[in-house]
Amino acid sequence: MYATHLLRRSYREGEKVKNETVGNLSHLPEPLIEVIRRALRGETFVPVGERLQVVRSLPHGHVQAVRMAMQRLGFESLIASRESPERERVCAMVAARVLSPHTKLATTRWWGTTTLAEEYAVAEADENDLYAAMDWLLERQGAIEKKLAARHLKEGSLALYDLSSSYFEGTHCPLAKIGHNRDEKKNKLQVNYGLLTSREGCPVAVSVYEGNTADAKTLMPEVKKLREEFGLEQVVLVGDRGMISHKAIQELKELEGFGWITALKSGQIRSLLEGETLQLGLFDERNLLELTHHPDYPGERLVACRNPQLAKLRAHKRQALLAATQKELEKVRERVQRGRLKGQAAIGLRVGRVLNKYKVGKHFALDITEKSFRFHLLDEQIAAEAALDGIYVIRTSIPKKQMSAADAVRNYKALANVERAFRALKTVDLKVRPIHHRLETRVRAHIFLCMLAYYVEWHMREALRPVLFCDEAQELKKTRDPVAPAKRSKAALEKASSKVLADGGEVHSFQTLLKMLSTIVRNRCRVPASGPNAPTFDVVTTPTAEQQRAYKLLEAIVL
């Protein structure tokens, strides 16, 4: 519909009242037309700067969101029951780590560009104050983890545990060692840390180890922590096949009330197949079956699973890697035949590079001499490995009356929640790496601080699921086929496809939601007419409907 705005005047000629159009205002924007209308009514207008002056503006909405979540979690009392400058600085560092992870020095520069420094009264804190607060925090780690365990781990509950690593920038920390690098940083010093979480992936405790510590060696200290420090008599501990070793299982069996769930390694599965305890024909009509093998696994349950989609994926990947390796090895052989590559050592070095690149060298037989190089595929070995494609076996001590075979598989797969936590800690969210601290205590405090930040973020993500690219149908995970590939709910797929919520609002990632909230600004204002010493007052941007919804979701956080 088109609207016309005319400026008209009325005048009298004798006894007649006449109207005259002075101008057509239709081309002017609606706000300006409204100003003209009000001026004609007699209102007086002055320049904005004469009435109100904004002396400072700071992003506030994202800070308010994190602070709201921390208040709902009782985070301050979790850190310490008494108020202190150290507690405020720790809370500020945790909030800063969620919002914009930096080094400690950079953090003291950054938080002055938001309202965070004011909210936590840390505007005067420098990096040395933060280091002192980290030392104070490390002394309280045990007490804080006990509180977290009391909140999220109950008698008989499931506890997930896994180990990861992060690399160092520097060489002086005694924890820094060369080990199995999960960050694909070859010959880089690193530190290992084990994360203990609830069944849902909520972090409870973190332990730091030297960078060359094997996974299995870190398990029993966590068991001791669960039993002695957290006071739990009955726990089901879930760890991957490299974590819960045969030796650890023997020790766990001696602890009454401690159950465990893990998985068999490929060699152990092959032994079951060769001994015909596990027969592939049993998977013709089902994808999950339960069996026992008393000679090797007395008193234990084995749950064998076969995922056809996973089998196809692994077969395709193996074939691609074998083909790529053959192609590169053929190039090496041609160079040797032409005399361009000579000497057993030089040939072996070049072949080693190829095998290390594609990681399928075990499937090749090699014959290297001073002047020749030959290779061929080990077809029988490849076929034996292919027979295991898509097959995995869950191993557990939990009796059937306490946990069904399907639930045992689901609970083992819950380790994906710990992997999700590691991704959040390492990458775009919290950036635990690279580690710049030199002192062992500071490294431990830094990693614990990052875990606490993930604790806050985890609860925020759970509360904000309705507006994030997250699947809200979490209850379906408890009943869906445990072997079949995970599928997102229909509502989640629609949300991901349309990028729009049912009410027309935008769907966000966690990071873009925080950026959207940061457009809420706290303005410090004053009235210039009152003089240079005029008092100031704060005016906060009115939240949009989308922002109000996010705050409402965060207000619903409960422990």
pLDDT by residue (tens digit) across 354-411? 998 998 999 999 999 999 999 999 999 999 899 899 999 999 999 999 999 999 999 9
Q: Are 73 and 559 in contact (CB under 8 A)?
A: yes
CA 91 vs CA 77, 205, 515: distances in Å:
11, 18, 20
Which structure tokens are listed for 557? 């956080």
The model's confidence at residue 166, banded by pLDDT at 50, 70 and 90, is confident
Please report whether residue 65 resides in a domain. Answer: no
The backbone torsions φ and ψ at residue 182, rounded to the nearest 5 degrees and listed phi first, read -85, -10
Please report whether residue 486 resides in a domain. Answer: yes
With 60 as the cut, is the pLDDT of residue 123 above it? yes
* pLDDT score, position 435: 77
Domain range for 33 is 6-45
End-of-domain residue from the set 353, 386, 419 = 386
DSSP classification of residue 123: T
Let me know the angle formed at the C-alpha of 432 by 557 and 195, rounded to the nearest 5 degrees. 65
Please report whether residue 98 resides in a domain. Answer: no
* Rounded Cα gap, residues 540 and 59, in angstroms: 10
Average pLDDT, whole number, for the chain? Answer: 90
pLDDT in tens, 279-337: 888 888 889 999 999 889 999 999 999 999 989 999 999 999 999 999 999 999 999 99
* pLDDT score, position 133: 96
> On the CB side of 445, how many CA atoms lie within 13 Å of its CA?
21
* Other C-beta atoms lying within 10 Å of the C-beta of residue 152: 18
* Other C-beta atoms lying within 10 Å of the C-beta of residue 79: 22
Please report whether residue 285 resides in a domain. Answer: no
Q: Is the pTM value of this prediction over 0.75?
A: yes
End-of-domain residue from the set 333, 355, 386 = 386
Please report whether residue 445 resides in a domain. Answer: no
Please report whether residue 475 resides in a domain. Answer: yes
Q: How many domains does the chain have?
A: 3
Burial 247-269 (b: 16+ CB within 10 A, else e): ebbeebeebeebbbbbbbeeebb
Q: What is the dihedral of CA 54, 55, 56, 57, to 10 degrees?
A: 10
How deeply is 543 buried, as exposed, middle or buried, from its count of CB atoms within 10 A (0-12, 13-18, 19+)? middle
* pLDDT score, position 82: 94
Most confident of 478-482, 485-489, 495-499, 509-513: 509-513
* Per-residue three-class SS string for 282-323: HHCCCCEEEECCCCCCCCCEEEEEECHHHHHHHHHHHHHHHH
Which structure tokens are listed for 199? 């069944």
End-of-domain residue from the set 350, 366, 386 = 386
The model's confidence at residue 511, banded by pLDDT at 50, 70 and 90, is very high
* Rounded Cα gap, residues 447 and 141, in angstroms: 11
Orientation of helix 545-555 relative to helix 440-463, angle to 10°: 110
Please report whether residue 236 resides in a domain. Answer: no
Please report whether residue 15 resides in a domain. Answer: yes
With 60 as the cut, is the pLDDT of residue 49 above it? no
How deeply is 66 buried, as exposed, middle or buried, from its count of CB atoms within 10 A (0-12, 13-18, 19+)? buried
With 60 as the cut, is the pLDDT of residue 434 above it? yes
